[in-house]
């Protein structure tokens, strides 16, 4: 089937859903001129809707967690209010039948400008300067399709264990992804964590900071998408950004000029990344287990 014919079929098969999503978000009927499937991942589908009143980006999925896009919309709103970086404006989210949707402004991706990485580093540092008394958030949310517990804690080490590591390890064991012996071995690192992390105030985090969640926005400036926000240790975002690469060294240099990291971050990096590795273990399988085992072995000596 040609690309043109496939696009026409896609538009025809889903046009009623698209129209309802726009009406529920904007409160009026807007003619859709064209719909183009931009992304079809394991969890979400992304569609560019071109209308008589501009371009919109529509995310959809059939996840059983009916509020998953409501939580993402809230996260995007929090980012827009607390960082100078571009963040898409959300117009609406909800559920139509068995399908969830999130409608936001379309950000036209282009080439990065000459100060792209510097702006991203400075913008993230400014986000991390936003604080509150406790680690956590006022409600739970999601990282990808997994529930993310945000029960407030005054200790980062306690929060990291009780709200990040233990829930994911328990789920991984329950789903047969790790044996009981390794689960018990993993728990031995918990008492060690308090002495590893620098004592810092809670920082507002993007929460899912890998290169795929940074896009080139207007005039080549960096834009943030797909957050999993909470107040955590700011080194979580930076460690996650290094897990799969894709960030230029200028990004880290700019960040450190505004909000310098405590010495020894490179040694702590793999500890923070236990959490995203556990997330990937649950989502994509056992190929992510060796990285977790390596860090645990290093900590236990």
- Respond yes or no: is residue 208 known to be catalytic: yes
* Tokens 């960030």 belong to residue: 247
Tokens describing residue 77: 């709103």
Per the CB < 8 A criterion, the answer to whether 63 and 100 are in contact is: yes
Q: What whole-number distance in Å separates Cα of residue 79 and Cα of residue 58?
A: 19
Count CB atoms within 10 A of the CB of residue 84.
11
Q: C-alpha 211: how far from its chain's center?
A: 10
> Helix 180-187 crosses helix 289-300 at what angle (to 10 degrees)?
50
Single out the catalytic residue among 70, 208, 226, 237.
208
Q: How does DSSP assign 182-207, residue by residue? A: HHHHHHTTGGGGGGTS-----EEE-S
Tokens describing residue 91: 């117009």
Compute, in degrees rounded to 10, the torsion defined by CA atoms 226, 90, 224, 65: -10
For residue 226, give the nearest of 68, 47, 52 by alpha carbon. Answer: 68
Tokens describing residue 215: 């896009």
**What positions carry a catalytic annotation?**
208
């Amino acid at each position: 089937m040609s690309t043109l014919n496939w696009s026409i079929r896609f538009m025809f098969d889903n046009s009623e859903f698209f129209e309802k999503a726009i009406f529920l978000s904007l409160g009026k009927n807007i003619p859709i001129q064209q719909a183009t499937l931009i992304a079809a991942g394991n969890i979400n589908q992304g569609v560019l809707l071109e209308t008589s009143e501009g371009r919109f980006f529509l995310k959809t999925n059939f996840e059983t967690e009916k509020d998953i896009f409501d939580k993402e919309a809230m996260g995007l709103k929090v980012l827009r209010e607390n960082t100078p970086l571009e963040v898409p404006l959300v117009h609406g989210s909800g559920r139509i039948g068995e399908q969830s949707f999130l409608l936001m402004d379309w950000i036209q991706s282009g080439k990065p400008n000459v100060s792209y990485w510097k702006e991203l580093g400075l913008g993230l540092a400014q986000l991390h300067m936003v604080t509150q008394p406790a680690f956590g958030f006022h409600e739970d949310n999601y990282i990808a399709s997994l529930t993310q517990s945000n029960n407030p804690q005054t200790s980062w080490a306690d929060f990291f264990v009780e709200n990040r590591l233990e829930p994911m390890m328990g789920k991984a064991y329950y789903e047969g992804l790790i044996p009981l012996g390794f689960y018990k071995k993993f728990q031995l690192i918990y008492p060690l964590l308090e002495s590893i992390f620098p004592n810092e105030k809670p920082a507002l985090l993007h929460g899912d900071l890998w290169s795929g969640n940074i896009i080139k926005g207007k005039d080549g400036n960096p834009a943030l998408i797909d957050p999993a926000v909470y107040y955590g240790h700011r080194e979580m975002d930076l460690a996650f950004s290094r897990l799969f690469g894709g960030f230029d060294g200028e990004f880290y240099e700019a960040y450190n000029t505004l909000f310098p990291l405590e010495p020894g971050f490179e040694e702590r990096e793999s500890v923070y990344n236990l959490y995203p590795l556990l997330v990937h273990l649950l989502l994509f399988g056992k190929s992510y287990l060796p990285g977790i085992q390596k860090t645990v072995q290093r900590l236990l000596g």
